[in-house]
């Protein structure tokens, strides 16, 4: 079967994101030796070459229908891609445990099938979240959110490559990242999702009205007096208005409220 | 370049919702239309001689441009070479539209963008990152700005 290589190499070199890259030792099945190779993971494809700068690609592994397994082989941080009986098993060794773990995790979530399931799951959660939002108090920007039919926001097609019979496809078990052995230090995920991100403009809907945005570049702990003055202005105005209306009332009470003729 | 051929052939035999006999013409001058069983599995387009078990070839559907050529024909151009297109002739207008739609949505990059959109929106609506429950929040592939800003892209990046 012809795999159109130029298309693959073009995809590798284009600007779409690289999901992971680095050196790994790849085991040669024939003679149990390891060769150091530079690997680049992009989408569901694992490319490898001798060195990062090399133009010549040695090979590619299409990551569909394989299980990622890690193994504890005395001192070596090994893991493998297992395609099943009669099919290939690719064996690798990382330099250290961190490398092993991060590759295993990255490869586990690399397949198209995995991404497809994940997108479907999030699409469902998104619909639920939107419904919750409209059931609760209506937030103007959310209720105005419209999804143009030709936007890229489609639910994915129903096709799922059922790669192996007998494998359970319950979404939550399959989507779960592989459990790392207890010896590993739990890494805290980087703070990408700080509170500020809650105000990211929705792609297919209007941005919230200006007044709803937080004061940009404002740190309440340092500038409390600024905050105090800012909100204080509103209070000041309200008070002035009230005083004015009281003034008018007093003027009016000089006359009889009821004209008795 | 080496690749896991046996496994890819097996992948081509998986059930697909988008498989049909279409007229297919290659990109080179002089290529003629031939009847092929064309099958979309994950982000690959496999094509077979009718009644053969092993596909003749596999086209990766990333970084390609899918276009309507006429009412029943669509084309796929790769490598930013707009003139070098694979052309596919369908039986009906509807079938043609369905194929174009399926191919666009099959791209990994398209799905990734969808995922990032949902992740951002769910976080905005609920304050929670939906990927945390799966332990994949910090995977590079799911990040909001993985080299690009979070905006709608034109189809050439598909």
pLDDT one-digit tens code per residue, B72-109: 999 999 987 777 899 999 999 999 999 999 999 999 99
Among A residues 105-124, those touching chain B with beta carbons less than 8 Å apart: 105-106, 109-113, 115-116, 118-119, 121-123
The answer to whether residue B147 scores a pLDDT higher than 60 is no
For residue A244, the model assigns a pLDDT of 72
Question: Over the Cα atoms of chain B, what is R_g?
Answer: 18
The answer to whether residue B38 scores a pLDDT higher than 50 is yes
- Write the CB contacts of A158 (distance below 8 Å, at least 6 apart in sequence): B17
CA–CA separation, B34 and B86 (whole Å): 12
CA–CA separation, B141 and A147 (whole Å): 25
CA–CA separation, A44 and B15 (whole Å): 19
User: Poorest-confidence range of A7-11, A109-113, A198-202, B66-70?
Assistant: A198-202
pLDDT band (50, 70, 90) for residue A258 = low
- Taking the CA of residue A133 and the nearest CA in chain B, the distance in Å comes to 7
Chain A partners of B125 at a C-beta cutoff of 8 Å?
126, 129-130, 132-133, 142
pLDDT, tens digit (0-9, with 9 covering 90-100), for A30-62: 788 999 999 999 999 999 999 998 889 999 999
Mean of pLDDT values over B20-41: 96
Chain B partners of A83 at a C-beta cutoff of 8 Å?
4, 7
Share of chain A above pLDDT 90, in %: 41
pLDDT band (50, 70, 90) for residue B145 = low
Judge whether A43 is closer than 8 Å to chain B, CB to CB: yes
Bridge partner residues of B37 (DSSP): B21, B48
The answer to whether residue A115 scores a pLDDT higher than 60 is yes
CA–CA separation, A172 and A92 (whole Å): 27
- Taking the CA of residue A45 and the nearest CA in chain B, the distance in Å comes to 10
A240 vs A222, more confident = A240
The answer to whether residue A180 scores a pLDDT higher than 70 is no
B121 vs A217, more confident = B121
Query: Are B11 and A159 a contacting pair at CB < 8 A?
Result: no
Chain A partners of B135 at a C-beta cutoff of 8 Å?
176-177
- Taking the CA of residue B8 and the nearest CA in chain A, the distance in Å comes to 7
Tokens 């690798």 locate to A92
Judge whether A153 is closer than 8 Å to chain B, CB to CB: yes
Average pLDDT, chain A: 72
Query: Are A123 and B118 a contacting pair at CB < 8 A?
Result: yes
CA–CA separation, B158 and B147 (whole Å): 16
ipTM of the complex model: 0.89
Long-range contacts formed by B56-60: CB under 8 A, 24+ apart: B56/A1, B56/A2, B57/A1, B57/A2, B57/A3, B57/A4, B58/A1, B58/A2, B58/A3, B58/A4, B58/B8, B58/B12, B59/A4, B59/A7, B59/B86, B60/A4, B60/A7, B60/A8, B60/A11, B60/A45
Q: Which domains does chain B possess?
A: 6-104 (2.30.29.30)
For residue A186, the model assigns a pLDDT of 42
Q: Strand B85-89 relative to strand B18-25: parallel, antiparallel, unpaired?
A: antiparallel
Most confident of A22-36, A37-51, A67-81, A167-181: A37-51
For residue A197, the model assigns a pLDDT of 38
Among A residues 179-198, those touching chain B with beta carbons less than 8 Å apart: 187, 189-190, 192-193, 197-198
CA–CA separation, B39 and A80 (whole Å): 29
For residue A73, the model assigns a pLDDT of 73
- Taking the CA of residue A233 and the nearest CA in chain B, the distance in Å comes to 30
CA–CA separation, B36 and B43 (whole Å): 18
The answer to whether residue B43 scores a pLDDT higher than 80 is yes
For residue B73, the model assigns a pLDDT of 97
Give CA A72 to chain center in angstroms: 30
Nearest CA in chain B to A171: B134
- Write the CB contacts of A213 (distance below 8 Å, at least 6 apart in sequence): A199
In this prediction the pTM is 0.70
Dihedral pair phi/psi, residue A250, rounded to 5°: -65, -40
For residue A21, the model assigns a pLDDT of 96
The answer to whether residue A145 scores a pLDDT higher than 90 is no
CA of A103: how far to CAs of A80, A92, A180, A186, in Å? Answer: 10, 10, 12, 16
Q: Which uninterrupted H or E stretch holds A136?
A: none
Nearest CA in chain B to A41: B141
Chain B partners of A62 at a C-beta cutoff of 8 Å?
3-4, 7-8, 11, 44
- Taking the CA of residue B50 and the nearest CA in chain A, the distance in Å comes to 15
Q: Which uninterrupted H or E stretch holds B114?
A: helix B108-126
């Amino acid at each position: 079967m012809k795999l159109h290589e130029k298309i693959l190499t073009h995809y590798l070199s284009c600007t779409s994101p690289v999901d992971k890259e680095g050196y790994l030792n790849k085991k040669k099945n024939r003679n149990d030796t390891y060769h150091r190779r530079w690997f680049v993971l992009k989408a569901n494809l694992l490319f490898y070459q001798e060195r990062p700068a090399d133009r010549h690609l040695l090979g590619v592994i299409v990551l569909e229908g394989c299980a990622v397994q890690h193994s504890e082989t005395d001192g070596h941080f090994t893991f493998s891609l297992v395609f099943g009986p009669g099919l290939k098993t690719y064996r690798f060794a990382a330099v250290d445990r961190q490398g092993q773990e991060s590759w295993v995790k990255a490869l586990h979530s690399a397949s198209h099938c995995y991404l497809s399931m994940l997108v479907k799951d999030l699409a469902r959660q998104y619909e639920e979240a939107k419904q919750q939002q409209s059931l609760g108090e209506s937030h103007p920007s959310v209720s105005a959110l419209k999804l143009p039919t030709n936007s890229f926001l489609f639910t994915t097609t129903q096709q799922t490559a059922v790669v192996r019979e007998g494998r359970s496809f319950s979404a939550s078990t399959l989507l779960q990242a592989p459990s790392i052995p207890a010896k590993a230090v739990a890494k805290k995920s980087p703070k990408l999702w700080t509170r500020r991100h809650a105000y990211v403009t929705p792609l297919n809907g209007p941005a919230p009205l200006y007044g709803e945005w937080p004061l940009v570049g404002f740190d309440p702990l340092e500038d409390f007096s600024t905050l105090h003055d800012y909100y204080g202005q509103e209070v000041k105005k309200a008070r002035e208005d009230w005083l004015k209306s009281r003034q008018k009332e007093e003027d009016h009470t000089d006359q009889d409220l009821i004209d008795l003729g | 370049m080496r690749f896991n051929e046996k496994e890819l052939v097996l992948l081509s035999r998986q059930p697909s919702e988008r498989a049909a006999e279409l007229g297919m013409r290659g990109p080179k001058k002089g290529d003629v239309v031939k009847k092929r069983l064309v099958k979309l599995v994950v982000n690959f387009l496999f094509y077979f001689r009718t009644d053969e078990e092993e596909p003749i070839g596999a086209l990766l559907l990333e970084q390609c441009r899918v276009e309507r050529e006429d009412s029943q024909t669509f084309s796929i151009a790769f490598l930013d070479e707009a003139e070098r297109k694979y052309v596919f002739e369908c039986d009906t207008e509807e079938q043609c539209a369905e194929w174009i739609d399926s191919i666009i949505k099959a791209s990994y990059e398209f799905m990734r963008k969808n995922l990032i959109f949902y992740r951002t929106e769910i976080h905005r609506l609920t304050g929670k990152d939906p990927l945390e429950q799966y332990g994949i929040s910090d995977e590079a592939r799911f990040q909001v700005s993985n080299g690009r800003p979070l905006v709608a892209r034109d189809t050439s990046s598909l």
